[in-house]
């Protein structure tokens, strides 16, 4: 959506604050021995404590409040009885609906003693987001964000996922335009003042191809290497973008 009024802007901020609170609670909870279902339960509890709705639950049949993607699972990991172990990297992606507005954000958390290369990967996903964010300004185009994310990732020796993208957001979780993590400068939809978007690099170390479970949601890296995900809901303005889920 394009937020035109202060109350719309405040609506997006409030929904995003709920997402941020749920992410913070999840981060504290991600410890060796906890199951991903237990993390999901905390996420749902926090979201509902604000009177918000976990909008992933029931979205195209998705069963849970959060997507929890461990190690080689890139995105859309379904919470399960799998326990988190020392050395895992755990991505948590949360969408919440409050008063008709959606917020959406993801982080990858390191559990205990994580391999140096995985820590680098986690930082790269975050840095790729900020590389893209530099171009999130009215007058630019979506491809400016996309190409910056791609360039950052590839210059640092990583791949970027192509089959899944960032997106517009507002009353619905996914709205136009798509915000890919690869692309060309000066192409794609024009960015407008008030436009709400999610920029969400999904970074596998090399091969960007994905393996999607045939009868499920779970998306793995094709070569089974660990992947990181970093996402924020952002309002584009004529000046600095406003990050709502930080
Ligand atoms: N939060 C995801 C996104 O970033 C979408 C969640 S898919 C769902 O776009 F099925 F879990 F809802
Ligand atoms: Co998300
Ligand atoms: Co998203």
Global pTM exceeds 0.75: yes
**Confidence at residue 208, expressed as pLDDT on a 0 to 100 scale:** 79
β-sheet bridge partners, residue 221: 210
Q: What is the pLDDT of residue 32?
A: 98
Distance 237 CA to ligand 1 centre (A): 25
Q: Is 90 helix (H, G, I), strand (E, B) or coil?
A: strand
Q: How far is the CA of 44 from the centre of ligand 2 (A)?
A: 15
Which atom of ligand 1 lies at the shortest distance from residue 231's CA? Answer: 4
Q: Which chain residues have CB less than 5 Å from ligand 3, an ion?
A: 104, 198
Query: Which residues, in sequence order, are bridge partners of residue 99?
Result: none
Q: Which CATH architecture has domain 6-241?
A: Alpha-Beta Complex (3.90)
Give the ligand whose atoms come closest to the C-alpha of residue 106: 2
Q: Ligand 3 centre from 104 Cα, in Å?
A: 6
The preferred substitution site among 57, 95, 108, 230 for testing ligand 1, maximizing ligand atoms within 8 Å of CB, is: 95
**Which token pair is 241?**
């973008």
Protein residues whose CB sits closer than 6 Å to any atom of ligand 1: 56, 59-60, 62, 67, 76, 93, 95, 104, 167, 198, 200, 231
Tell me which DSSP letter residue 242 carries.
E
Structural domain boundaries of the chain?
6-241
Contact 160, 199 (CB under 8 A): no
Bridge partners for 220 per DSSP: 73, 211
Ranges of residues in the chain with a pLDDT under 50 are none
CA–CA distance, 16 with 90 (Å, rounded to integer): 21
The model's pLDDT over 104-137, given as tens digits with 9 standing for 90+, comes to 999 999 999 999 999 999 999 999 999 999 999 9
For residue 216, what pLDDT is reported? 87
**pLDDT for res 205:** 86
* pLDDT value for 53: 98
Supply the pLDDT for residue 164.
Answer: 93
* Strand intervals (E) in 48-192: 53-54, 66-70, 73-75, 89-98, 101-110, 166-168, 175-179
| Integer angstrom CA distances of residue 61 from 55, 56, 93 | 11, 9, 16
87 class by beta-carbon count within 10 Å (0-12 exposed, 13-18 middle, 19+ buried): middle
| Token representation of residue 134 | 């530099």
Q: Whose CA is nearest to atom 11 of ligand 1?
A: 56
Q: What is the pLDDT of residues 183-210, one digit of tens each?
A: 999 999 999 999 999 999 999 988 778 9
Are the C-beta atoms of residues 215 and 75 closer than 8 Å to each other? no
């Amino acid at each position: 959506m394009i937020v035109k009024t202060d109350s719309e802007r405040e609506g997006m901020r409030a929904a995003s604050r709920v997402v941020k609170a749920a992410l913070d609670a999840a981060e504290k909870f991600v410890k060796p021995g906890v199951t991903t279902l237990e993390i999901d339960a905390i996420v749902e509890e926090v979201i509902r404590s604000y009177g918000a709705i976990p909008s992933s639950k029931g979205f195209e049949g998705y069963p849970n409040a959060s997507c929890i993607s461990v190690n080689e699972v890139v995105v859309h990991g379904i919470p399960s009885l799998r326990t988190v172990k020392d050395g895992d990297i755990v991505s948590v992606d949360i969408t919440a609906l409050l008063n008709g507005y959606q917020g959406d954000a993801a982080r990858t958390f390191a559990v205990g003693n994580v391999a140096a290369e995985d820590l680098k990967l986690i930082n790269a996903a975050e840095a790729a987001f900020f590389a893209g964010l530099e171009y999130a300004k009215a007058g630019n185009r979506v491809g400016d964000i996309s190409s910056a994310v791609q360039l950052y990732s590839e210059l640092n020796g990583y791949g970027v996922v192509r089959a899944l993208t960032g997106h517009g957001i507002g009353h619905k979780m996914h709205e136009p335009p798509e915000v890919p993590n690869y692309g060309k400068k000066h192409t794609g939809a024009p960015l407008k003042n008030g436009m709400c978007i999610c920029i969400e690099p999904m970074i596998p170390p090399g091969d960007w191809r994905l393996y999607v479970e045939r009868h499920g949601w779970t998306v793995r890296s094709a070569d089974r290497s660990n992947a990181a995900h970093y996402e924020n809901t952002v309002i584009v303005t004529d000046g600095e973008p406003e990050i709502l889920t930080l």
